[in-house]
Amino acid sequence: MRGIIICLMLVILSNVGWQRTVRGQEKQRQRNIIFIQADDLGYGDLGCYGQKIIKTPNLDKFASEGVKFTNYHAACSVCSPSRGGLLQGKHTGHSRIRTNQGRPPNPALRAEDITIARVLQNGGYQTGMVGKWGLGDLGSTGSPEKHGFDYVFTFDPIASADPYYPEHMVRIQSGETQTVTFPKATYGQDILTIEAKEFIDREKERPFFLYLAYLIPHAPYEIPSNQPYDKEPLTEEEKNYAAMITYLDKDFGELMQQLKDEGLFENTVVFFTSDNGPEAASIFQSEGPFNPDNVKRTLYQGGLEVPFLVHLQGSSAKVVNDLFAGYDFFKTAAEIAGIPQAELPPGLDGVSMLPGITGEGQQSEHPFLYWEFPVKNSNLLTKAVRIGPWKAIQVTSRRRRRLKEVSFALYNLDQDITERTDIASLHPDIAQRIRKIMTEEHVDPVN
């Protein structure tokens, strides 16, 4: 009898050890996640999306060896709402931040708002945010360290008169806030890249999530040298703009090389995109095939559709044409991390893009994509909905707490990618269907 008991104990202990090993293996299989976001980079600014003048060899190589999306839209056409939709997993009819940041005090995430950083943090990830935030002033309820980031390195909007050559930045870690001072001629892009590299090196022994929000190529167009375009027949501003994007490409290549050198590349999912379309049309055709008159700050395709590239080991040389938006990143990252659906917050508007990236499983499709953006210094609100090739843009005005339609236009993007010909009168059934979506998807923001 004693021998039987000993044998049973050995079996139980062996099983416990096996479970610990399996759990350990599962932990090791958690992939790192890096989300790199440019600022005002247009759909047509990269070689892999048709750019002919600006050189982007590292991103082009990344696209050819990874997954390239051709129908990915930012969550909004300006930075703060776009970043808010991305991190909250909600479109701008539901998300907290719907206008751009200006001077403190700014609209801020509430304490109860849940970001993907918080979900990943709760799932065992070390989380870092480096660069531009825009979802609440430091110290407010929207401060990044209050929304799931273990490590924060961001701009101090009061101390940084010129973000490309900042005098100060702020580091927040372990409950402490530190002001970091730089020599006068230190280029901000270099600072952010160094911080990102150090975060990766510091956290490489455990799963990490890095949200790297660059400033390039947001105006003003400043760079230490506009090579290799200094001899090109371009204006100084054009030379600087091109050089900034090539500089961004250089830094991206260095980050990817670091991941390879440290043996992390194969176990890291890397995303690259832009927060919205370009500031304006240019000689470079930054807006891509879209209407050059309607870019950033509009809900036309030139303001919304942006480059989107992904690397995930085992998925290479793929082009994905399905419709996606910035608010899909939340569920995508959660699925990559193995976070159960039951642990995600309610009210998310996105879908996971992972089946489209891997080619495995059934990819969920959006019944529609939705955006809204208030017109500055007015009572006007612009809404947009896309269903397959159909895209509608509506302008409403607020009167007596109700939104009244001012204008409405419907386009077929398969036939009219520049959104110039309104065909709403020819398709009243589709127009009515979209109007209904626009009414239902707008929820007044909670103060």
Residues 40 and 144 in one domain: yes
CA gap 146, 135 in Å, rounded: 11
pLDDT tens-place string over residues 341-364: 999 999 999 999 999 999 999 999
In this prediction, residue 316 carries a pLDDT of 87
In this prediction, residue 401 carries a pLDDT of 74
% of residues, the chain, pLDDT over 90: 85
**Contact by Cβ (8 Å): 242, 50:** no
pLDDT for residue 439 is more than 60: yes
pLDDT for residue 17 is more than 50: no
416 falls within a domain: yes
Mean pLDDT of 196-217: 98
Residues 301 and 170 in one domain: yes
Q: Domain containing 384: what range?
A: 375-441
The DSSP-derived string for 91-131 is: -TTTSS--S---SSS-----TT---HHHHHHHTT-EEEEEE
Quick count: other Cβ atoms within 10 Å of Cβ 320?
A: 20
**Contact by Cβ (8 Å): 202, 26:** no
User: Which pair of tokens denotes residue 447?
Assistant: 């103060």
pLDDT tens-place string over residues 107-158: 999 999 999 999 999 999 999 999 999 999 999 999 999 999 999 999 987 5
Residues 133 and 268 in one domain: yes
3-state secondary structure of 170: strand
Residue 189's alpha-carbon distances to 133, 236, 251, 317, 322, in angstroms, are 15, 19, 9, 29, 32
In this prediction, residue 160 carries a pLDDT of 57
pLDDT tens-place string over residues 45-89: 999 999 999 999 999 999 999 999 999 999 999 999 999 999 999
Mean pLDDT of 376-405: 92
CA gap 91, 398 in Å, rounded: 20
Residue 61: is it exposed, middle or buried by C-beta count within 10 angstroms (0-12/13-18/19+)?
Answer: middle
Residues 256 and 340 in one domain: yes
Half-sphere exposure of 397 (CA within 13 A, CB side): 6
User: Which pair of tokens denotes residue 376?
Assistant: 């500055």
Specify the DSSP class assigned to residue 300.
Answer: S
pLDDT for residue 202 is more than 60: yes
**Contact by Cβ (8 Å): 78, 324:** no
pLDDT tens-place string over residues 229-274: 999 999 999 999 999 999 999 999 999 999 999 999 999 999 999 9
C-alpha triplet 40, 42, 47: angle, nearest 5°:
130
| Of 344, 299, 389, 271, the residue nearest 88 (C-alpha) | 344
pTM of the model: 0.93
**Contact by Cβ (8 Å): 195, 202:** no
6 falls within a domain: no
25 falls within a domain: no
Where residue 420 sits, what CATH number does that domain have? Answer: 3.30.1120
CA gap 264, 12 in Å, rounded: 36
In this prediction, residue 104 carries a pLDDT of 83
Residues 125 and 93 in one domain: yes
10 falls within a domain: no
Mean pLDDT of 162-181: 93
265 falls within a domain: yes
Q: Comparing 17 with 267, which gets the higher pLDDT?
A: 267
CA gap 266, 246 in Å, rounded: 25
pLDDT for residue 319 is more than 50: yes
CA gap 393, 355 in Å, rounded: 30
Task: Report the mean per-residue pLDDT for the chain.
Answer: 92
Half-sphere exposure of 289 (CA within 13 A, CB side): 10
At 9, the pLDDT band (50, 70, 90 cuts) reads very low
In this prediction, residue 447 carries a pLDDT of 67
Half-sphere exposure of 121 (CA within 13 A, CB side): 18
Q: Comparing 58 with 403, which gets the higher pLDDT?
A: 58
The DSSP-derived string for 402-434 is: EEEEEEEEEEETTT-TT-----GGG-HHHHHHH
Quick count: other Cβ atoms within 10 Å of Cβ 13?
A: 10
In this prediction, residue 161 carries a pLDDT of 56
In this prediction, residue 54 carries a pLDDT of 98
- Of 358, 384, 413, which residue is a domain's last? 358
pLDDT for residue 16 is more than 90: no
446 falls within a domain: no
The CA dihedral of 226, 227, 228, 233, to the nearest 10 degrees, is: 50
Residues 335 and 397 in one domain: no
Angle between helices 329-337 and 79-88 (to 10 degrees): 40
Residues 288 and 432 in one domain: no
338 falls within a domain: yes
136 falls within a domain: yes
Q: How many domains does the chain have?
A: 2
- Of 358, 391, 413, which residue is a domain's last? 358
**Contact by Cβ (8 Å): 87, 115:** yes
Residues 382 and 350 in one domain: no
- Of 292, 326, 358, which residue is a domain's last? 358
% of residues, the chain, pLDDT over 70: 92
In this prediction, residue 14 carries a pLDDT of 38
Residues 380 and 306 in one domain: no
pLDDT for residue 429 is more than 80: yes
Residues 135 and 41 in one domain: yes
Residues 238 and 191 in one domain: yes
Residues 257 and 119 in one domain: yes
Where residue 52 sits, what CATH number does that domain have? Answer: 3.40.720.10
**Contact by Cβ (8 Å): 272, 63:** no
358's enclosing H/E stretch is helix 354-358
pLDDT for residue 418 is more than 70: yes
